[in-house]
Amino acid sequence: MKNLYLLFIVILLTSCSSIRVDYDYEKTRDFTQYKTYNYFSDVKTGMSELDSKRLFKALDDAMQSKGYSLSQTPDFLIDIQSSEFQQQRNNNVGVGVGGSGRNVGGGISIGLPIGQAKMGREIVFEFVDNSNDQLFWQAISESNYKPNASPEKREAQFIALVTKVLEGFPPEKK
């Protein structure tokens, strides 16, 4: 029942929240050679320890569902970095006063922001070939971030984010 509840939250979050992901990769790379992965030993996600654990669990579950396995001798290593930022407000109300007459004119305009500023989080996922230390795939995600969210909502947000990020891995051959 808990899994069904979590799945519902993931679907709700993915339909309501905007998770944007940009991908980049080496187009000459043979992605079929990669079967195992691990994380850099010194990975510093820039998140709290609890959020890092949630992200790693979501990533491990998604990678294993795609057929990759966590290994001590991996084919590639994953590095994760994140940063938080305040999103720009698009809602403004303009208040203006002006006048003119007989060659005299003037005006004042003030933009008043509406609502509270939203927080955003950018997370960069980098996959590096373990044999030659070369970056071969990268995803940069940008999403809304609520610092006061419950642990369940945070977990659901990370699952939705990782699902969206891994839609582009491995890249489809064209």
- Of all residues in the chain, the percent with pLDDT exceeding 90 is 60
CA 28 centroid distance within chain = 26
Place of tokens 């996959």: 127
- Of all residues in the chain, the percent with pLDDT exceeding 70 is 72
Q: What is the per-residue pLDDT across 18-67, written as a single tens digit (0 to 9) for each?
A: 899 999 999 999 999 999 999 999 988 999 999 999 999 999 999 999 99
Q: pTM for this structure?
A: 0.74
Query: What ranges do the domains of the chain cover?
Result: 2-88+118-168
d(CA 111, CA 67) in angstroms, rounded, equals 52
Would you say domain 2-88+118-168 falls under CATH 3.30.160.670?
A: yes
pLDDT attached to residue 118: 77
Contact between 82 and 124 under an 8 Å Cβ cutoff? The reply is: yes
pLDDT attached to residue 102: 60
* Nearest residue to 152 via CA among 66, 79, 58: 58
Q: What is the per-residue pLDDT across 140-167, written as a single tens digit (0 to 9) for each?
A: 999 988 888 999 999 999 999 999 999 9
> Lowest mean pLDDT: which of 72-81, 105-114, 134-143, 146-155?
105-114
pLDDT attached to residue 122: 93
Element (H, E) at 6: helix 2-16
The average confidence (pLDDT) of the chain is: 83
CA 9 centroid distance within chain = 17
- Counting DSSP H helices and E strands in the chain, the numbers are 3, 8
